[in-house]
Amino acid sequence: MNTQKPQVLACIDGAALTEAVCDYASWIAEKTDAPLQLLHTLNHHHETSNSSDLSGNIGLGAQEHLMEEIVTLEQQQSKLKIQHGKVILQAAKTHIEKSETIYPTTTQRHGDLIEAVIDLEANTRVLVLGLRGQVHENADNEIGAKLEAVIRSLHRPILIVNDTFTSPKHIMIAYDGSDAANKAVEMVASSPLYKGLTCHLVCVNNNEETATKLLEQATSKLKSAEDITVISAKLTGKADLALCAYQQEHNIDLTVMGAFSHTRLHDMLLGSFTHKMLVNTKKPLLLLR
């Protein structure tokens, strides 16, 4: 039986958002009294495929010698990547420990990020990662290459970081009455992470009567929690645009919502609401499955 305390797992790669990922992960770990683990992954798959392509172009006389050089080069590149990853982990660990309240552990794993987080899921309380890694960090209208797959694969809360750290004071629950939305309400009501904060419970629905009914029970649940100020709001229009506008107008620091509730076919035809929120929102999103 696993008796370890569930941890905050922060995925870092040295991209521009790495420091913010560390700061938000530290905030969660400190508020919930949870251990913090920093994860860096190394995927060598593309190196192997590149060397296979090269070997087919080498003449018979030089093939053996050049293949040896390629293997040596790959080994050197692999060692450099491993060392680079260790430097990233150590820098992140040092950054977090400056607060003298959180002392994270570090892990470097070979293989795919998705496989790594799934393997660690059983002992994960919250996963924290950046909206974009190094590949897409300058593309404002895109999200990280592995992000959607990670969100769909993991059944733990996932905090997506998209800006420098701000200690949250105002949070928003995007509420639509779904199982994930009700889970968000229960989590906010019971977790020490949200004590002392103002929670905006926001429902986007063009039917005012439906919106009122949806908000009543959820508002009652939140108001029963200790030390949480609740503000409920009914909005109309396109959900992603209305929520993002409300977020900016009311200085929301963190949005909590369900993720990818529709099928992949629905997403392809109409576009994913979660994807639109990830691209358009200016503050971190805590996603629940």
Structure-token pair, residue 69? 């050089």
Q: Which residue has the tokens 């009455």?
A: 177
Residue ranges of domains in the chain = 170-288
135 pLDDT more than 60 = no
65-74, 144-153, 157-166, 278-287: which range is least confident on average? Answer: 65-74
pTM of the predicted model, to two decimals?
0.85
CATH architecture of the region 170-288: 3-Layer(aba) Sandwich (3.40)
Considering only CA atoms, which of 283, 58, 68 is closest in space to residue 165? 283
What are residue 192's phi and psi, to 5 degrees? -65, -15
Mean pLDDT of 202-208: 94
pLDDT bucket at 139, cuts 50 / 70 / 90: low
Considering only CA atoms, which of 234, 144, 165 is closest in space to residue 26? 165
Query: Are the CB atoms for 10 and 25 separated by under 8 Å?
Result: yes
Mean pLDDT of 224-229: 88
Structure-token pair, residue 211? 């919106």
pLDDT bucket at 57, cuts 50 / 70 / 90: low
46 pLDDT more than 80 = no
pLDDT bucket at 61, cuts 50 / 70 / 90: low
